[in-house]
Amino acid sequence: MVLRWNDVKLALIVALILGLLALAGLGVQAIGGQPPPNQEPPGLPPPAHPDRPARGLSAPTVSLSWTPQVVRDIVAASNTAGLPAILLLSIAAQEGGLVGPPFPAGDNNTSFGPFQIHVPAHGGNAVYWQNVYNSVNEMAPRWRYYYTIYGNGTTWERDPAGFLVTAQPSMQGSIGLSRGVAQVNVDVARRAYAAVFPQTPPPPAPPA
């Protein structure tokens, strides 16, 4: 079969377009796109809510109050985990809240603690996950992974609410949240931190 020059040119153009599309996909992931689940590194803890279905944007049910000792524990645990204290306080404000223990049970009485750890996926029990340090130690590898994927401290420091909208569903395995709800979470986290540590500003975001 004799190939005509026009056929060759068309094949080259198609190959070029396909190559550019592949590179574009890699670029999206490199600047903060969520990788498919099968690309998560081995050994990464499962999300806090692996069986929670997508139900649209979460409602602004965040509590506007806090227990000082819970705030102290989350801040201390965040330092050990190498993640921003306000980030973890914001996630907890959306999940189990900052008032406890005990924290409300979620997902039909299967998720517990300030970060709503899902017992069928993580083991343990309601009492175990009420403990801030147990919850943070369990989830920290997953949180750090997606903290890196979504731009490290640069993205978080520049736009905390935007970071939560983009990253929290992957970090927690929870449903999406609107920017307004995310901003309320950040505001509550900042106010709680300032109330408990009035003389100490939050430390800058650590590098991943």
Mean pLDDT of the chain: 79
CA dist., res. 71 & res. 92, Å (int):
10
Would you state the pLDDT for residue 50? 57
Would you state the pLDDT for residue 29? 36
pLDDT, average across residues 52-60: 41
Is beta strand 117-118 parallel, antiparallel or unpaired with respect to 111-112?
Answer: antiparallel
Which ranges in 48-205 belong to alpha helices (H)? 68-81, 85-94, 119-122, 126-130, 132-149, 152-158, 160-172, 179-196
Lowest mean pLDDT among 36-50, 78-92, 98-112, 113-127: 36-50
Would you state the pLDDT for residue 151? 85
Joined tokens for residue 1? 């079969």
pLDDT, average across residues 128-151: 94
Distances (CA, A) of 128 to 25, 54, 81, 103, 140: 41, 27, 19, 12, 16
Judge whether residue 21 has pLDDT over 90. no
Would you state the pLDDT for residue 65? 86
